[in-house]
Structure 1
Amino acid sequence: MSALILTGAGVSVGDVATVARQARKVEIGPEIIGRLERARKVLDQAAAAGQQIYGLNTGLGANLGTSVEGDASAFQRQLLEGRSSAVGQALPVETVRATMLARASMLSAGGSGLSPAVFIALVEALNAGVHPVMPSLGSIGAGDLVLMTALARLLIGEGEADYQGRRMPAAKALMMARLAPISLAPKDGLSLINASAVSCGSGALAMTDALSALAQQQQAGALTMEGFGANRTILDPRLQMARPAAGQGEAAKALHDLLARDEAPAPTTIQDPLSIRCMPSIHGALIEAIGQAKRAVEIELNAAADNPLVLADDGVVMSTGNFHTAGLSLAFETLGLAIAQCAAASVARFIQLTGSGRNGLTKYLSPIGGASAGFVPLQKTATSILAAIRHKANPVMLDFLPVSEGVEDHATQSLFAVSKCAGMIALWRRLIAFELMAAAQAVDLRERLTLAPRTGAIYAAVRAHVSMLKNDRPLGSDAEVLHAMLADGTWQAAAAIGKEPD
């Protein structure tokens, strides 16, 4: 895999995922160091001229009006120590790596005034696999400042680090990786921490997962249409053109392509329940929400989100609110609602498939009948999971209180919005596993059914790990196996068999 070259623009959510999860290397583009040097020069000149610069020669938050006297570099260490107040379980290494890349990407835009040596140290630590142990609780979305102190302290050799799967003092991890702690020039500490890099990095990973889960949901929906004997006229492109709702045409085309064959079977009904008939519009709304969240994340990844901001070309340093991520929070709140709606439809289809028998299917999808429970007990599990998703869909971005003596009287709760959305995606995949299992069972029970090439590949991927239900057995363990495939990436490889080239 080729290295990701930082240029100050163009970093995508996919780039974050490969660096965070596949240890892709990061290189500094040839123009970056010069850009950082110019910004640093402007910052130093403004300070020398007597300009009050937040976090360089003034205190932070409620201490804004307090001048910093004496060693400005020592103050940078002081502000890191004083703001290391995050608590809770440590974030996963992949999230920390995503955070490190997100901050490096933002800094490469050149608006922070960060010393080039500090920027280089950040990239070197990322490439060497030296990761700060970063507690998970403390961000309110007005920047992830309290959490980000763990990263800044790592670079100066303080705090704890995760290196080669072991937790150890940061100074020891740097030494083992043949890296040296850095010294902080004025404002360097604030430049490292005053950004929403945890929210942004986490958001990029959540976006990657949402995109793969959407593809899996489309596959499950297509297999349901096969097993249910659904009326496929709902996918006619003329219907989508008649009502060009956001994403609907794209969702319908994807389903149509999954079901494509030389001769489509006759539908069993004039029209199907809404969870099937309205799949293009339900999935289309999710496609639109994913696109909105992806745009919001990639804006942050490639933006100068600093306060104060150095405008090197104009030779000025200005206070900003660029660290404030209301748009990111709103995008993920919307995405959460779209996921919840899609998950609810998946559960509805599962209940249609596993109910009293519709379109010629047997009761509870049991081939033996009688007192057999078949798939119906899983209805309880599915509705329990859906309840957890619906709970997480409740908005959090309005839940804040004024802090720092009212100076910080608004917050966005971006990290909370992103993390609960990520939790929803993980739960949603479990429902997709249920739908795939039920749809495959329906296919088995529908005699003489010939599947389309691509739905045949989806069916084969299910059956490679979960056999047909012939007598009552523990289906929870089957669902766990299928969910693991959906979550770890092996499902994509299995279900890609028979897929037409792009």
Structure 2
Amino acid sequence: MLEIGDCAIDLAQIVKATAQSTQIRLSPAAHARVAASRAVVEAYAAGDEPVYGLNTGLGGNLGYRLDPASLAAFQIQMIRGRTIGVGPLFSQAVSRRQLLCRIIGLAQGGAGISPAVLDGMIAIFNRGVTPAMPGRGSIGAGDLGLAAHMGAVVIGRGQAWFADRLMPGAEALAAAGLSPVVLGPKDALGILNTSAVTCGHAASVLADLADLLIFATTAAALSMEGYAANPTIFDARLAAARPADGQTRAAAMFRQILAGSYLHDAPSRSIQDALSFRVLSQIYGPTLAAFDTAVEAVTLEINAAADNPLVLAEDRVILSTANFHTPAIALAFDSLAIALCHLASASLQRTIKLMDPRLSGLPKYLSPVGGASVGFNALQKTASYLHAEIRLKATPASLDSVPVSETVEDHAPNTPLTIRKLEEQVLVLRLLIAIEALTAAQAVDLRGQPVLSAPTAALHAAIRASLPMLDEDREIGPDVDRVNDIAQDAEVLAALRGYFLGLSLNPLLAGG
């Protein structure tokens, strides 16, 4: 049981709750907060003062006043008219996180939602009904057009998953023993005016990236061992001498991941390696910091009262806000995408250098055959393609917006697009890191299988359990795909996460 309302819910809790079908409930304090804010809405609904979205139209229709008799019908009209999402649906898991994010936001009291409506949404979540939402249609100035698909299910319309089957929303509610929720004044806007769709998607992408960063860190350490690189570059004194953002933490991470490696047992091959090996803490540090910034921005949004208009129950007033605007998240995701380019560039260079006998001291192209054998060399083309796509996905999406709604809404951060392109970047980056891991495993074998650190030995063993060492030219692309599967295997990831404990990492990175 996950209780909502007293403490901030972090992304690790959201991912865990939706993965394990956790039940949720409001705390007594949240119940009281929601009831108090609803009383303010009802007082305004009975009065004459214009309140955005309560007794006025939305956007360009701001000047239109609604009469009291039409408020109930306007709720249905608002949802139906703003159900504008298009394209493939978010996955059921992502949509479940999006619903949970909206429930958490409504529990803050700022929307003035009817307690019965919030209770109905909690029942929908607890009974396993998940609104189906298309993935495209929000520009990050709130997610009205996508959240409308969530609202549609609440009132018995739209589409939803139930028992892993997609069906009309009314059928899903009935199958779960539920009835459509009846909305009162401002309830539709309370459901729709949110960034919960953005945040649920962001939580999922960051969880995937956390797993990738653990895999990438371990693969980079395995490359260090395959290259017989100098590990003194991670000396704590060096990091402390210029403690740039995240650098000391990253250096400590690599010291821990390489503990017990043969690299510490004998003089290094070189006092100074190529930069792609030497700058690991310098590039992983800012990446970890950028990851933290994105997590913090999303977590804040989920647990905030980011509604417009905002009900201030203690002062019994309702004020218009722009708290639905999410440039902080958009900028964080654009920055994170750029940071991942640096990881990708260094990974590509380590892969190439492992194949160069002049630099690695290993057989050309890591082929034990020699002669005309291509070994791993052809994979450099694949890696180069992947690197180019990763760079493409780093193009900022938050820089451009088009005025809409009679130019009243004339700025947008395009936050959902920054998240979507990072999701696509993560898929490609994982393939690039899979090439590095596969190459590093071959290099370690050619170096006579020296004593590896515990985590790199675990990754090497997982690769070799599925793929033999390359001893003749063979179809190598499928090998990369297999390592990509290994990088997402639940047992392998759980084992690798264990080596990252105690590093003061974000709970998502630590698997918490």
TM-score range, shorter chain: over 0.9
1:305 equivalent in structure 2: 306
1:16 equivalent in structure 2: 14
CA distance in 1: counterparts of 2:137 and 2:177, whole angstroms: 31
CA shift in 2, pair 1:455/1:159, >3 Å: closer
Deviations 1:376-417 (A, max 9, x none): 111111111111111110011122110000110000101111
CA distance in 1: counterparts of 2:53 and 2:498, whole angstroms: 56
Deviations 1:77-129 (A, max 9, x none): 11111111221111111111111011111111111000011111112212222
Alignment of 1:283-294 (within 5 A): 283-294=284-295
1:79 equivalent in structure 2: 78
CA distance in 2: counterparts of 1:267 and 1:22, whole angstroms: 47
Alignment of 1:232-243 (within 5 A): 232-243=231-242
1:433 equivalent in structure 2: 434
The TM-score with structure 2 as length reference comes to 0.94
CA distance in 1: counterparts of 2:499 and 2:207, whole angstroms: 23
Shift in Å, 1:436? 1.0
Q: Is the 8 A contact 1:350 1:438 kept in 2?
A: yes
Alignment of 1:265-344 (within 5 A): 265-344=266-345
Shift in Å, 1:211? 1.8
Greater shift in the superposed pair: 245-254 or 353-362: 353-362
Match of 2:24 among 23, 26, 46: 26
Q: Is the 8 A contact 2:462 2:486 kept in 1?
A: no
CA shift in 2, pair 1:446/1:292, >3 Å: same
CA distance in 1: counterparts of 2:82 and 2:501, whole angstroms: 53
2:404 equivalent in structure 1: 403
CA distance in 2: counterparts of 1:386 and 1:25, whole angstroms: 42
> SS of 1:480's equivalent?
helix
Alignment of 1:200-239 (within 5 A): 200-239=199-238
> SS of 1:304's equivalent?
coil
> SS of 2:353's equivalent?
helix
> SS of 1:395's equivalent?
coil
The amino acid across from 1:430 in the alignment is: L
CA distance in 2: counterparts of 1:36 and 1:23, whole angstroms: 25
Q: Is the 8 A contact 1:37 1:115 kept in 2?
A: yes
> SS of 1:5's equivalent?
strand
Q: Is the 8 A contact 1:457 1:497 kept in 2?
A: no
CA shift in 2, pair 1:466/1:24, >3 Å: farther
Shift in Å, 1:164? 1.5
CA shift in 2, pair 1:110/1:446, >3 Å: same
> SS of 2:419's equivalent?
helix
Shift in Å, 1:463? 1.4
CA shift in 2, pair 1:67/1:301, >3 Å: same
CA distance in 2: counterparts of 1:79 and 1:443, whole angstroms: 62
CA distance in 2: counterparts of 1:28 and 1:357, whole angstroms: 64
Shift in Å, 1:431? 1.5
CA distance in 1: counterparts of 2:20 and 2:384, whole angstroms: 35
> SS of 1:71's equivalent?
helix
2:510 equivalent in structure 1: none
CA distance in 2: counterparts of 1:496 and 1:15, whole angstroms: 17
1:7 and 2:5 are equivalent in the alignment = yes
Shift in Å, 1:22? 3.0
Deviations 1:242-264 (A, max 9, x none): 10011111111111111112853
1:358 equivalent in structure 2: 359
Deviations 1:20-55 (A, max 9, x none): 333222222222222111000011112323221111
Greater shift in the superposed pair: 349-358 or 248-257: 349-358
CA shift in 2, pair 1:15/1:453, >3 Å: closer
CA shift in 2, pair 1:199/1:364, >3 Å: same
Shift in Å, 1:498? 7.6
CA shift in 2, pair 1:154/1:228, >3 Å: same
Greater shift in the superposed pair: 33-42 or 476-485: 476-485
CA shift in 2, pair 1:158/1:256, >3 Å: same
CA shift in 2, pair 1:458/1:298, >3 Å: same
1:135 equivalent in structure 2: 134
Shift in Å, 1:356? 4.7
Shift in Å, 1:494? 4.4
Greater shift in the superposed pair: 428-437 or 445-454: 445-454
Greater shift in the superposed pair: 267-276 or 455-464: 455-464
Structure 1's unaligned 5+ residue stretches are: none
CA distance in 2: counterparts of 1:130 and 1:7, whole angstroms: 22
CA distance in 1: counterparts of 2:270 and 2:224, whole angstroms: 12
CA distance in 2: counterparts of 1:240 and 1:119, whole angstroms: 50
Alignment of 1:12-161 (within 5 A): 12-69=10-67, 70-161=69-160
Q: Is the 8 A contact 2:96 2:131 kept in 1?
A: no
Q: Is the 8 A contact 1:9 1:109 kept in 2?
A: no
Q: Is the 8 A contact 1:138 1:147 kept in 2?
A: yes
Q: Is the 8 A contact 2:85 2:134 kept in 1?
A: yes
Identity of aligned pairs, percent?
Answer: 42
2:506 equivalent in structure 1: none
Shift in Å, 1:462? 2.0
CA distance in 2: counterparts of 1:111 and 1:248, whole angstroms: 39
> SS of 2:135's equivalent?
strand
Greater shift in the superposed pair: 445-454 or 222-231: 445-454
Shift in Å, 1:355? 3.4
2:507 equivalent in structure 1: none
CA shift in 2, pair 1:48/1:435, >3 Å: same
CA distance in 2: counterparts of 1:359 and 1:353, whole angstroms: 5
The amino acid across from 2:48 in the alignment is: G
Deviations 1:217-264 (A, max 9, x none): 111111111110101110100000110011111111111111112853
The amino acid across from 2:333 in the alignment is: F
CA distance in 1: counterparts of 2:456 and 2:500, whole angstroms: 9
Structure 2's unaligned 5+ residue stretches are: 504-512
Deviations 1:280-301 (A, max 9, x none): 0010110110011111011101
CA shift in 2, pair 1:498/1:67, >3 Å: closer
The amino acid across from 1:232 in the alignment is: P
Q: Is the 8 A contact 2:253 2:500 kept in 1?
A: no
CA shift in 2, pair 1:97/1:288, >3 Å: same
CA distance in 1: counterparts of 2:157 and 2:499, whole angstroms: 53
The amino acid across from 2:168 in the alignment is: P
Aligned length: 500
Shift in Å, 1:497? 7.8
2:374 equivalent in structure 1: 373
CA distance in 2: counterparts of 1:157 and 1:322, whole angstroms: 29
The amino acid across from 1:171 in the alignment is: A
CA distance in 2: counterparts of 1:491 and 1:74, whole angstroms: 53
